[in-house]
Amino acid sequence: MAREFNVRPVVFPPGNPAAVPHQRRLPTAPFQPPPPRPQNPNIPFMSFDVGSAASAAAASTSFSAPIFGANNLSGSAGSIGGLGFDDEPPLLEELGINTRQIWRKSVSIMNPFRVNSDIHEDADLSGPFLFLMAFGLFQLLAGKLHFGIILGWVTVAAIFLYVVFNMLAGRNGNLDVYRCLSLIGYCMLPMVIFSALSLFVPQGGAAVFAMAGVFVLWATRVCTRLLVELASCGDEHRGLIAYACFLIYTLFSLLVIF
């Protein structure tokens, strides 16, 4: 059962807004900043003084910044590992390619009657690779693609010469495959010249065969001389070594002729 409450209605007098009661706020005191706290000089960042705190913090955490001058930059940029660019060896020497030594070996082969074997004491493959690529390039100009054949024949020829010489010398043989590759490659210089000259000579004529005989004998003599002087027990088997070298360079001459 609902319960009724008797509440008297509020009646405002008409036409008199001043009669409406208003709530009055109590007057408050003007704004006052909080009292300053005591500053501790040992802890500058706890202070509310921004200027003094920033200067104190900068003073407490200041350090000497590195000065990058022109001398320091040039010294650090121009030196690697304590050596300047002027003191570093050339790039070819770092790769083990001695251009002066290659030139001296090439010049010594140009004269088949006076071969300096002391220069070829230090074997390398930089000069032989250069001569083989030149030989293949001249063959390419003649319309023959023989790069793979040339590299394969040189490898087989070095192994063949190594086996033949060590069988002849027995236990006293000191010739290795690396030296064989070096000597055969450097003695390819006459064949490179022959390949270049054959571009200006009619193919299949007597002139090509005559030139082939001359350059094959040239390469055979130089290679035989170097093998005999650089390897021990070579004087006793000079003829057989010369025959093996003759067969090797005859095969390369056939690439040029045919």
Chain-centroid distance, C-alpha 18: 99
Whether residue 149 has pLDDT greater than 90: yes
Question: 69: pLDDT confidence band, cut at 50, 70 and 90?
Answer: very low
Hey, CA dihedral for 159, 161, 163, 166, is it positive or negative?
Answer: negative
Q: CA-CA distance, 212 to 132, in Å (whole number)?
A: 17
Average pLDDT, the chain: 78
85 pLDDT tier (thresholds 50, 70, 90)? low
Task: Write the pLDDT tens digit of every residue in 108-131.
Answer: 999 888 888 889 988 999 999 999
* Helices H / strands E in the chain, number of each: 10, 2
- State the Cα angle at 57 between 54 and 58, rounded to 5°: 85
Q: Which band of pLDDT confidence, cut at 50, 70 and 90, is reported for residue 63?
A: very low
Q: Confidence band (pLDDT; 50, 70, 90) for 169?
A: confident
Which of the given ranges, 50-54, 111-115, 212-216, 231-235, has the highest pLDDT on average? 212-216
Q: What is the pLDDT of residue 172?
A: 73
pLDDT digits 0-9 by tens, 230-248: 887 767 788 989 999 999 9
Distances in Å between the Cα of 244 and the Cα atoms of 27, 161, 169 are 126, 7, 15
- Identify the band that residue 90 occupies on the pLDDT scale cut at 50, 70 and 90: confident
Q: How many C-beta neighbours within 10 Å does residue 190 have?
A: 25
Nearest in space to 119 (alpha carbons), one of 230, 234, 228: 230
Given this model, what pLDDT does residue 145 score?
93
Cβ neighbours of residue 214 under 8 Å, at least 6 residues apart?
A: none
Query: For 45-54, 134-143, 171-180, which range has the lowest pLDDT when averaged over its residues?
Result: 45-54
Residue 1 has pLDDT above 80, yes or no: no
User: What is the mean pLDDT of the segment spanning 177-193?
Assistant: 95
